Amino acid sequence: MDIKRNYKYLLSDLTALKGVGIKTTNLLKKKKINNIFDLLWKLPKSYTDRSLSSKIKDLKIDEVQTITVIPQKYSFPRVRNLPNRVLCKDETGEIDCVFFNSYEGYIKKILPVGKEVTISGKIKYFRNKYQLTNPKYVSEDSSIIKQKHNSYSLTEGISEKVYNKIIFQIIDNLPKIEEWHSKDILRKFDNISWNESIKKLHNPENIGKFKENFYQRLAFDEIFSTFLVNSEIRKKIKRIKKTKKEFSVKNQNKIISELDFSLTKDQSKTLDEINKDLSSENKMFRLLQGDVGSGKTIVSLLSAFNTINSGFQVAVMAPTEILARQHFLLAKKIFPKNIRVELLSGKSSYKDKKVILDRLLKKQIDIVFGTHALFQKKVEFKKLGLIIIDEQHKFGVSQRKKLSDKAGKDCDVLLMTATPIPRTLTMTIYGDMDLSIIREKPNIRKPIKTYSKLENKIEDVIKFVKKEIKLGNQIFWVCPLIEESKKIDHTSAVKKSKYLEKLFPKQVYLLHGKTTADEKEIILNKFLQNDFKILVSTTIIEVGIDFPNANVIIIENANKFGLSQLHQLRGRVGRGNKESSCILMFKSNLSDNAKKRINILKDSNDGFRISEEDMRLRGFGDILGFKQSGIKNFRLADPVHNHNLFILAEKEIKRIENEKENISKFKPLIKLYDRADIINDIA
Q: 435-444, 510-519, 594-603: lowest mean pLDDT where?
A: 510-519
* CATH assignment, 449-604: 3.40.50.300
468 φ/ψ angles, rounded to the nearest 5 degrees: -65, -40
Which class would CATH give 51-146?
mainly beta
Tell me the three state secondary structure of residue 678: coil
Arithmetic mean of pLDDT, 100-105: 88
Band of residue 619 on the pLDDT scale cut at 50, 70, 90: low
Angstrom distance (rounded) from CA 46 to CA 201: 12
Domain 249-438, CATH: 3.40.50.300
Helix-strand-coil percent breakdown of the chain, rounded to 5?
A: 40, 20, 40
E strand or H helix at 24: helix 22-29
Calculate mean pLDDT across residues 600-611. 84
Per-residue confidence (pLDDT) for residue 84, from 0 to 100: 93
Average pLDDT over all residues of the chain: 85
> Using CA atoms in the order 389, 393, 398, 401, what is the torsion angle rounded to 10 degrees?
30
For residues 105 and 84, what is the distance between their CA atoms, to the nearest angstrom? 11
Q: pLDDT > 70: what percent of the chain?
A: 90
Mean pLDDT of 109-134: 93
Q: Where are the alpha helices (DSSP H) in 180-320?
A: 183-188, 194-201, 213-239, 249-258, 265-278, 296-309
Q: What is the CATH number that goes with domain 1-46+160-175? A: 1.10.150
Provide the percentage of residues in the chain whose pLDDT is more than 90: 39
Q: Residue 683 above 80 pLDDT? A: no
> 233-280 pLDDT, tens per residue?
888 888 889 999 999 899 999 999 998 888 999 999 999 999 999 999
pTM of the model: 0.75
CATH topology identical between 1-46+160-175 and 449-604? no
pLDDT at position 633 is: 63
Q: What pLDDT, in 10s, does the model give residues 437-471?
A: 998 887 777 778 999 888 889 999 999 999 999 99
Q: How do the domains of the chain map onto residue ranges? A: 1-46+160-175, 51-146, 181-239+642-683, 249-438, 449-604
Residue 625: per-residue pLDDT: 43
Confirm if 195 and 173 have CB atoms less than 8 A apart.
no
